Amino acid sequence: MSNVSDLRRRNGSVMSRVGSKLTLILLLGALIWHPARTQTLIVTHIRPSSDTDVRNQYFIRMLDLALSKTKGDYKLVSATSRMHQGRALAQLKSGVGLDVVWTMTSKRREEELLPIRIPLLKGLIGTRLLLINKSDANKFSQITAATQLQKLRAVQGHDWPDIEILRHNGYTVGGAASYDGLFRMLQKRRIDYFPRSVEEIWQEAETHADIGIAVDKSIVMQYPAAIYFFVKRDNHLLARRLEDGLNRAIADGSFEEAFLKRFNEIIAKAGLSERYRIDLVNPLLTDETPLDRAELWFQY
């Protein structure tokens, strides 16, 4: 009887250990096959170009809005260092240090990266006012033809698509590598004007008013253009979440609410309908640009 009892105890102990191992295996299996239940999506985005650059705030807000409309935990993280646009796109393409960039679209960018084709600024990026040296205000007020403006010198970031757009339309444009350097060139009158989108220009003019920079009051340049979120070509999960989230925000009105909260006042301030309008062609747009979705574009 003693031997039988010992055998039963040993068998029970073995079965207990087997059961414990089986339970552990099942738990590990659940973690392996269902990572989304325990993981938070970390999304690293670009940093501002300088201490005075506030342009990113709206885009971070829209990034947060889009992700909040979809299922799954997420956390937004700013990149560890500042970088110019060309470097940011190169890092995104390689998958090192960045998960998402917002930038003006072009054929090349849509070939190299994965675009989420919803214009985050509703096309305002192509509505351009002019930063000028305030001592030249009278000269610009007398411009009544595009040919007059084409004779003057403009400037843009050296890796911005706007350079190609302006040159394609017959304008003389120089490039600068430094964001702050663009304003110094205007201050020192190395260039005549600096076209800026209507949503950027007022803050930039205020920030640089002490060096004699002002907003021209008479001209608006207009071309179809869009800023999209871009992700790495194979990051389909993040792309789907962003596209789905943005479309949900458009449908429920929260996209429009965020847009108007940020831009309604400055659009009114620009007095666009009272300016001399110069329309330009944008050769960089792809056939996939959603120009047929009227709700995605601002009209004036």
> What are the distances in angstroms from CA 48 to CA 61, 80, 175, 199, 227?
14, 11, 20, 16, 16
- Contacts (Cβ under 8 Å, ≥6 apart) of 74: 40, 41, 42, 43, 67
What local confidence, expressed as pLDDT, does residue 49 receive? 67
pLDDT band per the 50, 70, 90 thresholds, residue 50? low
pLDDT over 90 at 11, yes or no? no
What local confidence, expressed as pLDDT, does residue 33 receive? 42
Tell me which of 48-57, 85-94, 139-148 is least confident: 48-57
pLDDT over 60 at 18, yes or no? no
What residue spans define the domains of the chain?
A: 2-36, 124-222
**How many whole angstroms separate alpha carbon 251 and alpha carbon 66?**
12
pLDDT over 50 at 54, yes or no? yes
What local confidence, expressed as pLDDT, does residue 85 receive? 83
DSSP state, residue 100? B
Under CATH, what is the fold of the domain 124-222? D-Maltodextrin-Binding Protein; domain 2 (3.40.190)
What local confidence, expressed as pLDDT, does residue 208 receive? 96
What local confidence, expressed as pLDDT, does residue 35 receive? 45
**How many whole angstroms separate alpha carbon 156 and alpha carbon 200?**
13
Q: Find residue 128's DSSP bridge partners.
A: 197, 221
CA 175 to chain centre: 21
Provide φ and ψ at 115, rounded to 5°.
Answer: -85, 145
> What are the distances in angstroms from CA 191 to CA 13, 85, 133, 186?
86, 22, 9, 6
Over residues 265-291, the pLDDT tens digits come to 999 999 999 999 999 999 999 999 999
* Burial tier of 32 (Cβ tally within 10 Å: 0-12, 13-18, 19+): exposed
pLDDT band per the 50, 70, 90 thresholds, residue 300? confident
Around 104, how many Cα atoms within 13 Å sit in the side-chain half-sphere? 24
Q: Find residue 133's DSSP bridge partners.
A: 213
